[in-house]
Amino acid sequence: MSTTNIRPYKGILPSIGSDNYIDESAILVGDITLSDDISIWPLVAARGDVNTITIGSRTNIQDGTVLHVTRKSPENPQGNPLIIGSDVTVGHKCMLHGCQLGDRILVGMGAIIMDGAVIEDDVFIGAGSLVPPNKTLVSGYLYVGNPVKQARLLKESESAFLKQSAINYVELKNEYLKE
């Protein structure tokens, strides 16, 4: 892990848990807290500058994803931090902005999740989907579209895959750490 890709903002440096893989081309700036067994893949940009970013254990953030937050304001005194739970898979080239994701979620490639959105546990979000501001996606469903719509209940195999996807990426990042 290069120290040039982990940068402070206003004196606050990202807090990195143990056994994490952070690609050298990824950039993490400011008030970011990473738990353990996380993987941050190439070209991820995460800016915890005007609010906080928190990422739970065994979560993977894939190539080209942008993680950002919403600043505090008189209309929104807390702003919108970015909170990502545990065992979450965020696909390639996603945009997560000031939203909250629970545990065991798969965010398909190219999806956008906007400010104030809340994604409950055990959710699949299809590739290219747009989750509008302040929308809540309830647990146990597949969501697709622009704007996103509830498509159907998750199949048992899909629910099991949510956890397996996270395990697959823990194993992959461990291989990278051995290199």
Closest C-alpha among 93, 113, 8 to residue 45: 93
Delimit the domains of the chain by residue range: 6-178
pLDDT in tens, 89-121: 999 999 999 999 999 999 999 999 999 999 999
Q: Is the pLDDT of residue 3 over 70?
A: no
Pick from 3-7, 37-41, 49-53, 78-82: least confident: 3-7
pTM of the predicted model as reported, rounded to 2 decimal places = 0.96
pLDDT at 40: 98
Q: Is the pLDDT of residue 1 over 90?
A: no
Residue 43 backbone class (left: φ over 0; alpha: ψ -120 to 50; beta: rest): left
pLDDT at 177: 96
Q: How many alpha carbons lie under 13 Å from residue 32 in its C-beta half-sphere?
A: 27
Q: Distance between CA 102 and CA 89 in Å, rounded?
A: 11
Q: Distance between CA 126 and CA 147 in Å, rounded?
A: 11
Q: What is the mean pLDDT of the chain?
A: 97
pLDDT at 50: 97
Q: Is the pLDDT of residue 2 over 60?
A: no
Neighbour count for residue 102 (Cβ, 10 Å)? 20
pLDDT at 4: 82
Q: What is the CATH number of domain 6-178?
A: 2.160.10.10
pLDDT at 99: 98
Cβ(40)–Cβ(46) under 8 Å?
A: yes
Q: What is the mean pLDDT of residues 45-55?
A: 98
Neighbour count for residue 146 (Cβ, 10 Å)? 13
Q: Distance between CA 59 and CA 3 in Å, rounded?
A: 21
